[in-house]
Structure 1
Amino acid sequence: MTQTHTSSVGTAPNDPAGGGAALSDAARNGAAQPSVLSLAGLPYFPIAFIARLPFAMMVVGVLTVAVSARGSLSLGGLTSAFVGVGTAVVGPLLGAAADRFGQRRVLLLIAPVNSVLLLVFCAVVYSQASPALLLLAAFGIGATAPQVAPMSRSRLVTLIAERMAPARRPKALSATMSYESAADEMVFVFGPFLVGILASALTPWAPLAIAAALSAVFVIAFALHPTGRAVSAARSEDGSAPSSARELFRPVLLTVVVGIFGVGLFFGSVLTSLTSFMADLGESERAGLFYGIMGIGSAVLALGMAWLPARFSLRARWLTFGLLLLGGSLLLANATALAAVVVALALMGTGVGPVLVTLYGLGADRSPLGRSATVMTMLGSGVIVGQSLAAAGTGQVAEALGTGTALWAPVCAASVVVLAGAANWFLTGHADTAEASATRASAARVSVAADE
């Protein structure tokens, strides 16, 4: 496990994300301690939630408008995949930049650029521009995608680690990870659903135009929120520098990245194969509605993870809920009637939300000192890259081999999650115990570089 140091910097309860005042002795002993809600402030949560939507709308939005404008499903799938490639290549670098220069500076730079590129893509896709230029514009969208979800996790865990008494941190960290994963679940379900509604009711390019507006307004609001000045834990009390970048490539951390990439594959393959199934029934526009069955159950279970007993370790949760995900996928692959699809989606929903909570918890646990925003961005990028690649690949399979074959794509994705969980089990031995979880929660390992 990466060595970490506890930060000595905190703020008073009535100074949400402000900066600097040390915790009193009484507060250190757990008396009159603030909640995460009071530390961040109530407005933070709706701002951070809406600011995630552009990220969740990009892949499906690009796919929708590209297919509509160019009349090619293969080009549309390739274009959406390039959004994921851009995120994969540049996303972790944005996290590293946030660790080094602060979230605020990074977000204020990329949010307006991303908004402009979304609008440029709309213009390019309806022009006579070559497919190469279209792919380049899609890559730019992914490369400048605001990494709000991982940065939000980084901020909140920083507040917990630096401004709560050690005795309160484990419960607060668990509840925060549960909320953040539930928010991701809702966004990744509602985002594609919103794209479908807007494209049908208005025009195919409307979702990207609205995503551009949301990015310009809410991502910038998220950047300017007082939590953006969260105290940096990049240097410990003894003045040591952040961990080496080599620490990001430790097997126990890369296993988590592979697992969450599998979750992204699962999101993309389920939505695309479900769309193909509903299209065969002549009701393709209802695919997002049925997809929501999985998302709602998943969000509820994700929120409930905070109340699971500590003895149910993270490594065991990964495998347990991953197997539920695999079981639901197998049921979906063999479904021939809509009722069976509904049951399969509900079962998968009991697995995917808890798996996400677990993986982000492990990511926080294994983040090298001073590299938390980088790690969280790696995980967030893993989801969007997996989603975009699976959406493109599953669409090709459905078009070439039919819906029956495409429905096996979620099984493959769930298998990636389970196999990564099995690898994690053997790599970690008995390291992931309740005691290790408590140590994780009490250590300040998150760095959000202070904005001057």
Structure 2
Amino acid sequence: MPSNETRTRPDEIAAPKLLTVVGRSYFPIAFVARLPYAMVVIGVLTLVVAGRDSLSLGGINSAMVGLGTAIFGSFIGAAADRWGQRPVLLTVGLLNSIALIFMAWVVFSPLPDAVVLIAAFAIGATAPQVAPMSRSRLVEIIMTRLAGPRQQKTLNGTMAYESAADEFVFVFGPFIVGLLATTLHPVAPIIGAVIMTVVFVTAFALHPTGRAQHGHTSTQPRSQAPAKELFTFGVFVVVLGVFGIGLVFGSTLTALTSLTNDLGRPEEAGIIYGIMGIGSAILAITVALFSPRYALWARLLSFAPLMLIGAVIMASSTSMVTVVIALLLMGCAVGPTLVTLFSLAAERSPLGRSATVMSMAGSAIIVGQSVASAVNGILAEEAGTSAAMAVPMAASALVLVAGLLNLIVGENARKRDLVHS
């Protein structure tokens, strides 16, 4: 009996050990710091529609936010890998706050729509990559300071928590935007994002875990693998899968908005959308309980089809009850899928470039959400709600394709192992 207790104790105290290293303030700060990033797409859409009285212009501006993130998100991650997260986060946090304030003003100004589009692009281009940098930071701490039998369990639990946190903010971020815009003013979500960026992104940057690694200064480049290693098929598959999840988020929200608008209750869209987030966040956390023998490729191929089934049910729904059931089913699949994809991202990150890979994956979510929000919003206006309800099905199918392509990555790795042996 004593030997069994001794054998299990290291795994049981894995989480407290990580908490001891990062400090109790880390997770609350990192959680709130990622909220502005999840609010800007819908926040910009809401603000532009209110200020310029154009739904199509609002959708285009949301897409511009995504375009800015798509172009500059990975560069922000690369800069953090090279010079450390702290100076990069402080710089982009300041620039992003300025861009948000400018957007809040320019929408109601007499300046042309082109200037509004530039402001939206700047918001996306300077968005602080808190979620991917948090993952990168924690993975580095776990791999360098928590060696031993608890390491893999702690890593699995951490990836599960980080994905659950993302699920929460990306589902409830739009809900917060709607609440602030409805009860206060359409500009309120943008001002709220500025305040959270100034306070919490700065706190995240200045947190002790954000210090440069021992032996490096902010002016000394870190040891890194060649940039070409970022453009491998394995990394591409991860980014494709996460992009598909972003498409699911954006297309589902716009489809539900169109559906509830048809029913004369548009304010209920965010609440119904939150149903998917509840199941998703809960299932994402339970991934930490999965056996290590339940391989990542198998997890991806287990949950991606479930997501597609839920999307098919939603597309063919004839009642709100069926829609809710479909969302619950999709939520149960989205969470574990996202955890698995980010675990693969951590596994495939080249030396010294984990923040870059995590930022590429993190940017893919916001890009997918932006593209789907814009395209599906236009589709709903032009072709009706039934057409918009089918888009999450296509998005889920893309995630499944990524899971199937991931099998090729695994097969290539096994062939290399045989050659080397």
Q: When the two structures are superposed, what TM-score results if normalisation uses the length of structure 2?
A: 0.92
Question: In the TM superposition, what is the alpha-carbon distance from 1:330 to its structure 2 partner?
Answer: 0.3
Are 2:61 and 1:79 aligned? yes
**Superposition pairs of residues 324-343 of structure 1, within 5 angstroms:** 324-343=306-325
Letter in 1 for 2:125: A
CA contact (8 A) 1:92 1:375 kept: yes
Q: Counterparts of 2:12 and 2:388 in 1: how far apart (Å)?
A: 56
Give the alignment partner of residue 260 of structure 1, picking from 231, 242, 245.
242
The answer to whether the 8 Å contact 2:81/2:222 transfers is no
Query: What letter corresponds to residue 40 of structure 2 in structure 1?
Result: M
Following superposition of structure 1 onto structure 2, how do residues 66-145 of structure 1 map, counting pairs within 5 Å? Answer: 66-145=48-127
Residue number in structure 1 paired with 2:138: 156
d(CA) in 1 for partners of 2:12, 2:215: 24
Note if 1:285 corresponds to 2:273.
no
CA distance in 2, matches of 1:52, 1:322: 25
1:412 matched to 2:412? The reply is no
Give the aligned CA root-mean-square deviation in angstroms.
2.0
Q: Deviations over 1:86-137 (max 9, x none)?
A: 0000010000000011100001111121111101001111112111111110
Q: Distance in 2 between matches of 1:32 and 1:171?
A: 10
- How do residues 19-418 of structure 1 correspond to structure 2 at under 5 angstroms? 35-229=17-211, 231=213, 241-418=223-400
Any idea what SS the aligned residue of 2:288 has? helix
Please report the TM-score for the alignment, with normalisation by the length of structure 1.
0.86
Secondary structure of 1:271 counterpart = helix
**Count of matched residue positions in the alignment of Structure 1 and Structure 2:** 402
In 1, the alpha carbon distance for the partners of 2:230 and 2:402 equals 17
Task: Output one character per residue of 1:257-287: Cα deviation in whole Å (capped at 9) or x when no partner.
Answer: 0110000011000011011111111111011
Letter in 2 for 1:315: W
Shift of 1:234: 9.0
SS at match of 2:318: coil
Q: Secondary structure at the match of 1:203?
A: coil
Could you list the per-position Cα deviations for residues 19-59 of structure 1 after superposition, in whole angstroms to 9, with x for gaps in the alignment?
A: xxxxxxxxxx9999861111111111110000001000000
Gaps of 5+ in 1: 1-28, 437-452
CA distance in 1, matches of 2:155, 2:356: 19
Per-residue deviation, residues 326-380 of structure 1 (Å, max 9, x unmatched):
0000000011111001000000011000010000000000000010000000000
**Which blocks of at least 5 consecutive residues in structure 2 are unaligned?**
1-9
Identity among equivalent pairs (%): 54
Partner of 1:13: none
Residue 241 of structure 1 deviates from its aligned partner by 3.5
Runs of 4+ in 1 over 4 A off after TM superposition: 29-34, 232-235
Asked if the contact 1:233–1:370 (Cα under 8 Å) also holds between the matched residues in 2, the reply is no
Are the structure 2 counterparts of residues 344 and 224 from structure 1 closer, same or farther at C-alpha, using a change threshold of 3 Å?
same
Q: Is the 8 A contact 1:30 1:165 kept in 2?
A: no
Q: Report the CA distance shift for 1:131/1:320 in structure 2 as closer, same or farther (over 3 A).
A: same
